[in-house]
Chains A and B, each alone.
Chain A
Amino acid sequence: MYALADIWYQSVRHLRTQLRMPVWIFVNLFQPMVWLVLFTQVFKSLSDMPGLGGVSYLTFLAPGIVVMTVLFGSAWAGMGLLRDIDMGILSKMLATPVSRVSIILSRVFASMVVLVVQALIILLVAVIMGVDIAAGIPGVLLIIVLVSLLGLGFAAFSNGLAITLKRMEPLIGIINFVALPTVFMSSTMMAPDLLPGWLDTVRHFNPVDYAVVGVRGLVLTGYVWSDLWRSLTVLSGWAALGALFGLLMFRRKGE
């Protein structure tokens, strides 16, 4: 029970820190919208392409932007932990009876809260721009579940790497190395049918793709349960794997 309370109090701390930075709020609210507008403008001529299922590229891409925003946001989640290590905050905390797992889990949870808000904003803007979410309001709830699982996995991995590497430079390097390629190695930007064969194979090993397929299905066609179950299962596995990695690294290096 104390673990839950510890997660809560620390999450409050993390969120409060971020909300006190006006620039941070501004950037995080507007970045998703910038993605949405920029991508649809740059790729405007793609709308005429076959393979998108006869929908506008905006409608096709909006789910991808939701997933991408969650991915980028959660991949950077470990940076805050690095500050706590550098400032001596972490070792001071570890000398208290605070639940060990709560230190990682509260960071992951706080990231989730931010990402869910961002995802909702993108969906709202997309709807205003003319996107019709086929699965309706309950579908939005499912979208949130899907991207939360994806984000949980990445945020936990990022925190696990932070505690292992203990330094900013290698962490930044790894995040940059991983984040964008995982987007391109999925059907985020392009319909699966239009991907070259090898990428179509690779994407099946990429959790990002399962999130995109799940969310896009809900937006374009509604409840395709065969796809949804697969996405939910794979993403749950991904989240569990990330959490396991994060907690193991924390236990190993946290001494």
Chain B
Amino acid sequence: MSVIATYQLTKVFPGGVRAVDGVDFEVNAGEIFGFLGPNGAGKTTTSKMVNTLIQPTSGTALISGFDIRKDPGEVRSRIGYVGQDVGVDEYATGRENLTLYGRFYRLGGKTIKQRVNELFELVDLIGYEDKMVSTYSGGMRKRLDIAMGLIHQPDVIFLDEPTVGLDPQTRVHVWDYIRDLAKVMGVTIFLTTHYMEEADHLADRIAIIDRGKIMAIGTPAELKQSISGDAVTLSPGAGKANESQDFISRAEAALSGQAFVIRTQVMDGGLAVYVEHGESAVPEIMRLLSSHGIEVGTISVSRPSLDDVFLKYTGRTIRAEEGTPTTYAEVQRKRSRRQ
């Protein structure tokens, strides 16, 4: 049975921005569902609608069979929401934070006490129960934040960008907790993220969302398989971005008819050429291009990754650090600076 099912869920903000545009998806019980897209793609807006925090303009969603528009109360008692901000009260202790949420979810005093102890163990905060949250580190706060969304044993927990603002080491720790959570508690997890790595690492299935629309849904493996072969990416090189249009069309014309090329994909500032074996194709590609008098600035070979999947469905790359869509040329410039 699906824990979440959305039906043409749409949100139009005042001013006419269609932040979420007729989104349909289902999340099955017990799975980690990754909602992947750049900032401004509509991830958080979707999550907030399903969490009853904002009203959809049209369409609706069912949580464990309850309609978010008709039964918001029933929905709220079955979900845990862990927002992008760490919504814990730092002037209270961890136990006080958790206990208050137990009350909000109408649990009895005895149950709360027991759940609080279990949860502190689950998120590895034993010994910090009665310390003020203001003394917690960022990672500890996030773990308490997650525990607060779990106190009532919800059907599904929403993690909105759970590792934004955490350092890489803490991020990996939080990932471990999230995976344990799914395993130990059997809770369904709806994870929104703009980190490819995070989605790849945690999610059983991924939906790629861009400009308010779902572009693809599948397991990470399925999505990667939809990209056949290795990607050889070519660009005219740094400082020649103004020639890229010409470069792309000439390179595409030279290569697209070739037997060893599976397909080509135009992107901002360059061309991705998908081939069976990337490394052995490079000399052939170079030879063909130079015979057409085309000068290549940069060339790189990569195995299919979620980045390629994202590129295939949206025509753009996603920049890992900022999560903002960017042109291929920019990515290349950034890479070359790093080397």
Contacts and interface: CB of A to CB of B under 8 A. Distances in A.
* A pairs with B: yes
Interface in B100-156: 100-101, 103-106, 145, 148
How many chain B residues sit at the interface, stated as a range, is 20 to 34
A90 B148 CA distance: 14
Nearest to B87: A92
B84 interface: yes
Interface string A196-220: 0000000000000000000000000
B19 to A, nearest CB: 14
B233 interface: no
Interface in A2-51: 2, 5-6, 9-10, 13, 16-17, 20
Chain B interface, DSSP helix/strand/loop, else mixed: loop
Contact of B104 (A17, A20, A96): A96
Contacts of B77: 96-97
A194 interface: no
A91 B53 contact: yes
B88 interface: yes
B85 A13 contact: no
Contacts of A128: none
Given A9-B100, A13-B92, A91-B53, A96 B87 contact: no
Contacts of A2: 106
A92 B145 CA distance: 9
B103 A5 contact: yes
A16 B92 contact: yes
A88 interface: yes
B103 A95 contact: no
A21 to B, nearest CB: 8
30 contacts: A2-B106, A5-B103, A6-B103, A6-B104, A9-B103, A13-B92, A13-B96, A16-B92, A16-B96, A17-B91, A20-B91, A87-B88, A87-B90, A88-B85, A89-B89, A92-B82, A92-B85, A92-B145, A92-B148, A93-B87, A95-B80, A96-B81, A96-B101, A96-B104, A97-B73, A97-B76, A97-B105, A97-B106, A98-B104, A255-B55
Interface of A: 2, 5-6, 9-10, 13, 16-17, 20, 87-98, 255
